[in-house]
Amino acid sequence: MGHILSVVSGKGGTGKTSFCAGVAVALCALGEKVLLIDADRGLRSLDIVLGMSDRVLFSWGDVLDGVCSLKEAAVKHPVVKNLRVLTAPGMEESGSRYSGDQIRALLERARPHFTWILIDCPAGFGSEVVDFALGADQAVVVSTPDHTSLRGAQRIGTQLANGGAEQIKIAVNRVRAGMIDRGDSVNIDAAMDAAGLPLLGVIPEDQDVIACGNLGQVLVLFSDGYARVAYANIARRLRGTRVPLLEGVKLKK
């Protein structure tokens, strides 16, 4: 039975979609069978980042509306074996909001077919984020190392915990040693304290993440940069391996 992980943030643009793509591909490389769900109805983007926008025909809204099966809607990645992507319905496609029961039922329907299900949530704490996040077994809050983003991380972490979520961790993204040294950015210990969450991992600032997202390329195949290594380290930790925080990763000055 698959593990379900929701990927959330307080503020927007912290790196959730990049995290989902990077960690999902890294999990596949370790032999896992992964479903990536785009929960962002307002601004779905996983299909673009993974170079699949011409392939996704049906959304999870279509599955819930009985238009197609989960297997038809969860599209295979063209290159990465064992990776499927289930896109979000557009806001305009369905005026109706799906209930928490429907979303939880969707997740449970998918669970037996995958070893990991990662949910790319929209920023903030909208009602569908709650439904997806509370239907998951664990959550990771992605934050950049600045005070406003960390405050957002702390808020959403607290709200998820109040809603009954367990195993909530933080991933600190776009970290640069130089900025920490100069005091322009919060260091990792302070970030954990500010967010009040245990650390899942640190992802360095890496131009290749931006380039890959724009080109719809898979980071592992495209880049030998450190973000790729950081996502792989996180994938190993999710599987229960103890991996030192910055193993194989150098933070840019």
Ligand X SMILES: Nc1ncnc2c1ncn2[C@@H]1O[C@H](COP(=O)(O)OP(=O)(O)OP(=O)(O)O)[C@@H](O)[C@H]1O
Query: Which residues of the shown chain bind Mg ion in the complex (CB under 5 A)?
Result: 16-17
State the Cα–Cα distance between residues 122 and 45, nearest whole angstrom: 10
Among left, alpha and beta (phi > 0; psi -120 to 50; other), residue 252 is beta
Closest by CA to 87, choosing from 49, 32, 125, is: 49
Least spacing, CB of residue 16 vs Mg ion, in Å: 5
DSSP character for 33? Answer: -
Q: Of Mg ion, ligand X, none, which one sits near residue 140, judging by CB under 5 to 8 A according to partner kind?
A: none
Choose among 44, 35, 42, 169: nearest CA to 107: 35
Q: Give me the least distance between CB of 165 and ligand X, in Å please.
A: 19
* DSSP 8-state secondary structure symbol assigned to residue 87: B
Choose which of 59, 115, 149, 173 interacts with ligand X (CB under 6 A): 173
Helix (H, G, I), strand (E, B) or coil at 223: coil
Position 149 contacts ligand X (CB under 6 A): no
Structure tokens given for 208: 């290749």
Per CB under 6 A, which region of 28-36, 84-92, 207-215, 233-241 contacts ligand X?
207-215
CA distances for 92 relative to 22, 52, 88, 97, angstroms? 29, 21, 11, 11
Which 3 state secondary structure label does DSSP give 4? strand
Q: Does 213 contact ligand X by CB under 6 A?
A: yes
**40: which 2 tokens?**
């962002």
Stretch that binds ligand X, among 52-60, 106-114, 201-209, 235-243 (CB under 6 A): 201-209
- Angle made by CA atoms 5, 21, 96, in degrees to the nearest 5: 65
Tell me: does residue 47 bind ligand X (CB under 6 A): no
37 binds ligand X, rule: CB under 6 A: no
14 binds ligand X (CB under 6 A): yes
Count of residues touching ligand X (by CB under 6 A):
21
Using alpha carbons, select from 125, 188, 196, 198 the residue that is nearest to residue 154.
196
| Binding-site partner at residue 13 among ligand X, Mg ion, none, CB < 5 to 8 Å by type | ligand X
User: Least distance from C-beta 155 to ligand X, angstroms?
Assistant: 15
Among 2, 8, 18, 103, binds ligand X (CB under 6 A): 18
Member of 73, 209, 218, 251 binding ligand X (CB under 6 A): 209
Among 6, 17, 143, 223, binds ligand X (CB under 6 A): 17
Nearer to ligand X, 50 or 203 (CB): 203
Interaction site with ligand X (CB under 6 A): 9, 12-18, 40, 43, 45, 123, 173-174, 203, 205-206, 209-210, 213, 227
